[in-house]
Structure 1
């Protein structure tokens, strides 16, 4: 059986071009509440993690009141205040349709909370592609492998026929820990060399290249 039966995608920086919006929202939030503003690269390095561990990695341990203020302000920044666009990548729909029409099962494992994923799915009409999904508030966060393990169990696949696609080192580490085939994409948080160092076994520079690779491997 092909090892490319079940393809699980990260969301931000993998299917949605949202890295700029995340970085600027994090920086603006830090400035607003009086924390040192992190660099663009430092902020990219936490993308893929759940929000609270990401905040701790960037700013250290905040007291409970300040952390709550940060969380609320960040959500306001990202959802309503930030004007940086976060569209789907141009080839996302065609690539997903090509996979689905070839009987590849699709899923999502994301550092977003369920409310955030549902919101962008409603805005983009992308839920149609993903019968299986797991969010940061429903499982242990990346790079812990539980998200992938739970998705495989729910969908009825094993590590031997599951693929994880993501733009961050946290996605690659999660995939390796779960024993699935890790594929990195270079449109988001981390460079090809960083993804390879974190365990990526294939690197794609676009979703079109990714879907072509998967479909070729299934022949």
Structure 2
């Protein structure tokens, strides 16, 4: 049996594992309205999903309408709105099709799994618990302790925690921020076509590949890493 180096597969959360766009847009509009700012709406908000909140809010605001204090206030209002929304009995933030099956398949290859997200750790923990995914990931990186994507800090920490080197690591994400983060970390970067940035944007950001369904991922990774199912 070939003793391959450890492999690490890191996933973005919003737009990659879970479809959270409507909840995010609702809370963003609420937070902007609370401070008398024009609500960005769903289509505009989709473009910044993946960034940390202060960066996202600054990008969404009309130029010249916010300063650091207002960004801080809108950030707090957004967090409060999302926490309240998450408590509602009809709260719906579904996984994309095939997540559980794909994670089980990657795990069967003894590949290490992680998450790198612009969410706060509290929000990520809630997503994982709600979808029975708490035990799937060995490294969880959030905006609480890192600069916003596309800075590669989260991926550097994920590799440090797992002992995996960049050529044996990959980020899977739906936005240019994920792809740019992976490239900056020296990792492979694979886009997903069902998220919040279109395929051309992912390719222009430098994606090594873009998949249309999670069942394509194991084969794409095997090809990129030159591994086989029997060598794992």
> TM-score normalised to the size of structure 2?
0.86
Matched residues in 2 for 1:38 and 1:4: separation?
43
Please tell me whether the aligned partners of residues 3 and 163 of structure 1 are also in contact (alpha carbons under 8 angstroms). Answer: no
- The answer to whether the 8 A contact 1:4-1:214 is kept is no
Output the CA distance in 2 between the equivalents of 1:206 and 1:3. Answer: 26
Q: Which has the larger radius of gyration?
A: 2
Is 2:182 the counterpart of 1:175?
A: yes
1:191 aligns with 2:198: yes
- Residue 16 (structure 1) shift: 0.7
Select which of 70, 75, 78 maps to 1:74: 78
Give the aligned partner of residue 14 of structure 1: 16
User: Does structure 1 conserve the Cα–Cα contact (< 8 Å) formed by 2:58 and 2:71?
Assistant: no
CA distance in 1, matches of 2:91, 2:30: 12
Q: Distance in 2 between matches of 1:2 and 1:42?
A: 43
| Higher RCO structure, 1 or 2 (CA under 8 Å, sep 6+) | 1
Q: Distance in 2 between matches of 1:200 and 1:3?
A: 23
Where 2:9 maps in the other structure, the secondary structure is strand
**Mapping for residues 71-110 of structure 1, pairs under 5 Å:** 71-81=75-85, 85-110=92-117
1:106 is paired with a residue whose SS is strand
Indicate the residue corresponding to 2:60 in structure 1. 58
- Between the aligned partners of 2:25 and 2:205, the Cα distance in structure 1 is 22
Instruction: Describe the SS at the equivalent of 2:115.
Output: strand
TM-score, normalised to structure 1's length? Answer: 0.91
Give deviations 1:34-72, integer Å, cap 9, x for gaps.
Answer: 211224332112111101111111115634553343223
Identify unmatched segments of 5+ residues in structure 1.
Answer: none
| 1:81–1:154 distance in 2 versus 1, CA, 3 Å | closer
Q: Residue 194 and residue 137 in structure 1: after superposition, are their counterparts in 2 closer, same or farther (change >3 A)?
A: same
RMSD: 2.2
Q: Count matched residues.
A: 219
Change (3 A) 1:96 1:203: same
Q: Which runs of 4+ in 1 moved over 4 A?
A: 1-4
The farther-off stretch of 93-102 and 57-66 is 57-66
Query: What aligned pairs does 1:132-147 form with structure 2 within 5 A after superposition?
Result: 132-147=139-154
Superposed displacement of residue 115, structure 1: 1.4
Question: For 1:128, what is the secondary structure of its paired residue?
Answer: coil
